[in-house]
């Protein structure tokens, strides 16, 4: 039996139309699979059945019939692939209740400043209200600013190379004329922010009313109250008729502002080369006294070293540990916590 080419092509067209519609309209995976078997099934799908009919087309018509057959086959395969990807992306879409754009979104977790940075900002703010402006100095210092102008003589134990982080060039030892960088001047990581007192006074005539906050370095073994790097707040006030009573009132105001209640200040006689007289400053903590740092009246030798006249002006200075005041306020028992970067600790501030 010979099938006319026109009839064969007509059946192909009908199959293409029906297959495209059913495959394209499949609502879920099961419906698509049924449609696939019906149209593209390898054993008895409708396309397969038609392929068998190809043998009945007259020999001269076979190329035209075969060409159209292949086109329809490709068309149905494409319709199947489209339907598969359409249903796959529908599966990936969230089920459950529809999106409600009026609901608040999930809150992103926000970080915050490190507790020491927060403390530094707050101390600047408090001292700013008392009329002190912020001054800055380098962390790599020379011996003049770290020691000499601060009246610390060459044989003072604080200048021992083992007590400081000297930056020596190869072959040069700390304290020797060719140590440090550049030009052979010995340089070191500053061991105290008192260096900034000198830098400020060198730059301007009195009166001076500054604070300096920053990192200082000492080769100390880390423990609950020591670390090779820590922070200090330094204060300096130089003017006519400045007295120790001014120093104590100012420190009391400062402590009360930061700790937020009536705090007692205690001065214990002490010695620093750059102040005379010198005191250790304690603050009351419950029934205990906590040492916060040192203070005193600026030594006349320091004023002379920067070209000030000690007969005309006097001044007070103080230096407190930032870690200590911060730890004291928040009840932190070990300052090493500040440097561990443990978010469970930092999160609390
Ligand atoms: N620079 C001292 C230290 O690091 C602290 C200090 C004491 C600073 C007395 C001062 C001061 O300004 O007057 O131990």
For the stretch 31-86, pLDDT in tens is 999 999 999 999 989 999 988 888 888 889 999 999 999 999 999 999 999 999 98
210 C-alpha vs ligand 1 centroid, how far in Å? 14
Q: Provide the token pair at 185.
A: 């001047």
Question: What average pLDDT does the segment 100-124 reach?
Answer: 92
Q: What is the largest CA-CA distance in the chain?
A: 132
| Residue in the structure block whose two tokens are 């003072």 | 156
| 192 ligand 1 Cβ < 6 A | yes
| 255 ligand 1 Cβ < 6 A | no
| 20 ligand 1 Cβ < 6 A | no
pLDDT on residue 176 = 54
Q: Is residue 324 classed as helix, strand or coil in its secondary structure?
A: helix
For the stretch 145-198, pLDDT in tens is 999 999 999 999 999 999 999 996 544 555 555 544 555 679 999 999 999 999
317 C-alpha vs ligand 1 centroid, how far in Å? 8
Q: Choose which residue among 135, 137, 159, 192 to substitute to test ligand 1 binding: the one with the highest number of ligand atoms within 8 A of its C-beta.
A: 192
* Residue nearest atom 7 in ligand 1 by C-alpha distance: 294
- Measured CA to CA in angstroms, residue 95 lies from 88, 89, 91, 202, 328 at distances of 13, 12, 8, 72, 53
| 217 ligand 1 Cβ < 6 A | no
Closest CA to 302 of 278, 279, 268: 278
Do β-strands 265-272 and 229-239 pair in parallel, antiparallel, or remain unpaired? unpaired
* Residue nearest atom 13 in ligand 1 by C-alpha distance: 295
Say yes or no to pLDDT of 278 above 60: yes
The runs of H, that is alpha helices, within 171-294 are 195-203, 244-259
Q: Is residue 317 classed as helix, strand or coil in its secondary structure?
A: strand
pTM: 0.69
The residue among 56 and 207 whose pLDDT is bigger is 207
pLDDT on residue 170 = 45
pLDDT on residue 305 = 97
Closest CA to 208 of 252, 243, 242: 242
The arrangement of strands across the sheet holding 187-189 comes to 140-142, 187-189, 166-167
pLDDT on residue 316 = 98
Side-chain-side CA neighbours of 33 within 13 Å: the count stands at 3
62 C-alpha vs ligand 1 centroid, how far in Å? 105
Of all residues in the chain, what percent carry a pLDDT higher than 70?
95
Q: What is the C-alpha end-to-end distance of the chain, expressed in Å?
A: 93
Of all residues in the chain, what percent carry a pLDDT higher than 90?
72
8 A C-beta contact, residue 53 and residue 3: yes
| 318 ligand 1 Cβ < 6 A | yes
Closest CA to 134 of 234, 32, 61, 65: 234
* Residue nearest atom 3 in ligand 1 by C-alpha distance: 192
Q: Choose which residue among 194, 195, 299, 315 to substitute to test ligand 1 binding: the one with the highest number of ligand atoms within 8 A of its C-beta.
A: 194
Question: What average pLDDT does the segment 99-128 reach?
Answer: 93
The residue among 183 and 321 whose pLDDT is bigger is 321
Q: Model confidence at 235, in pLDDT bands (50, 70, 90)?
A: very high
For the stretch 251-272, pLDDT in tens is 999 988 988 777 889 999 999 9
Q: Model confidence at 94, in pLDDT bands (50, 70, 90)?
A: low
Whole-number Å distance between alpha carbons of 308 and 190: 24
């Amino acid at each position: 039996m010979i099938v006319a080419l026109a009839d064969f092509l007509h059946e192909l067209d009908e199959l293409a139309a029906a297959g495209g519609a059913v495959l394209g309209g499949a609502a879920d995976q099961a419906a698509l699979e049924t449609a696939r078997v019906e149209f593209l099934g390898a054993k008895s799908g409708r396309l397969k059945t038609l392929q068998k009919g190809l043998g009945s087309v007259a020999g001269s018509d076979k190329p035209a019939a075969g060409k159209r057959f292949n086109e329809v086959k490709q068309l149905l395969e494409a319709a199947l692939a489209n339907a598969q990807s359409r249903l796959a992306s529908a599966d990936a879409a969230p089920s459950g209740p529809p999106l409600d754009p009026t609901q608040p979104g999930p809150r992103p977790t926000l970080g915050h400043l490190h507790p020491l940075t927060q403390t530094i900002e707050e101390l600047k703010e408090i001292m700013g209200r008392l009329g002190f402006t912020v001054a800055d100095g380098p962390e790599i210092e020379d011996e003049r600013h770290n020691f000499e102008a601060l009246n610390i003589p060459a044989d003072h134990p604080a200048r021992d190379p083992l007590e400081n982080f000297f930056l020596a060039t190869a072959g040069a030892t700390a304290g020797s004329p060719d140590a440090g960088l550049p030009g052979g001047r010995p340089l070191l990581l500053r061991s105290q922010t008192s260096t900034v007192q000198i830098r400020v006074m060198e730059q301007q005539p009195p009166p001076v009313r500054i604070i300096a906050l920053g990192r200082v370095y000492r080769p100390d073994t880390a423990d609950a109250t020591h670390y090779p790097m820590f922070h200090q707040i330094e204060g300096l006030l130089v003017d006519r008729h400045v007295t120790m009573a001014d120093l104590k009132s100012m420190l009391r105001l400062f402590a009360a502002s930061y700790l937020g209640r009536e705090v007692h200040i205690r001065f214990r006689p002490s010695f620093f080369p750059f102040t005379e007289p010198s005191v250790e400053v304690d603050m009351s903590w419950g029934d205990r006294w906590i040492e916060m740092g040192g203070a005193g009246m600026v030594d006349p030798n320091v004023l002379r070293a920067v070209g000030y006249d000690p007969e005309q002006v006097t001044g007070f200075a103080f230096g407190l540990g930032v870690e200590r005041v911060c730890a004291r306020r928040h009840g932190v028992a070990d300052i090493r916590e500040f440097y561990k970067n443990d978010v469970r600790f930092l999160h609390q501030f």
